Chain A
């Protein structure tokens, strides 16, 4: 298996622009998680899905952030409009429910820079 795939790996955009991050989880995994990592705040859980349904979005910082999972093999995290403080590394992770242990498999991340 190729593991969790994220695209793009790097994104540089200007304040006010829309940004869309993409994630393909490991095939057969039921859970998908979006995280944000910064030096100041560490690793933060933004939202997670179970069987394509959002379960907990309490970590989404504000209405500018939205996430979707239209099918089991694809999810997007959108920021509109983007702001400089959104600059961070965004990780997607997936987890197989059958493991029962919550072990997560992370993608390589998308490094977002908002100028």
Chain B
């Protein structure tokens, strides 16, 4: 079963705007990761945040984690048309075990 639930399911914005996606999960975690999937392709790892971290940045990506609320958010700043993709959160318990993926947010960035 899917532990992560992304919100919103779909998001459409204009190029240059910021995009925010949220993820909620149910059980304790070691880390939370975000992946991107372009149409017809495999998932690509974007960024990881550990359970003892609250915020992490990578380029135009900013991830926050609130373990008390069991939620995370992914912010993409100054979006580009090339950011159009589906974004998935995934939770892990560490030690090389399986990840549990969410349902994904479809982001469309229009010119």
Contact = CB atoms under 8 A, between A and B. Distances in A.
Contacts of B96: 30-31, 50, 95-97, 99-100, 102
A28 B36 CA distance: 24
Interface string A31-53: 10100000000110100101000
Interface size grouping (class) on chain A? 20 to 34
Interface size grouping (class) on chain B? 20 to 34
A106 B86 CA distance: 15
Contacts of B43: 43, 91, 93, 104, 106
Contacts of A101: 30-31, 33, 48, 50, 92, 94
Interface of B: 2, 30-31, 33, 35, 40-45, 48, 50, 88, 90, 92-101, 103-104
Interface of A: 4, 30-31, 33, 42-43, 45, 48, 50, 56, 91, 93, 95-97, 99-109
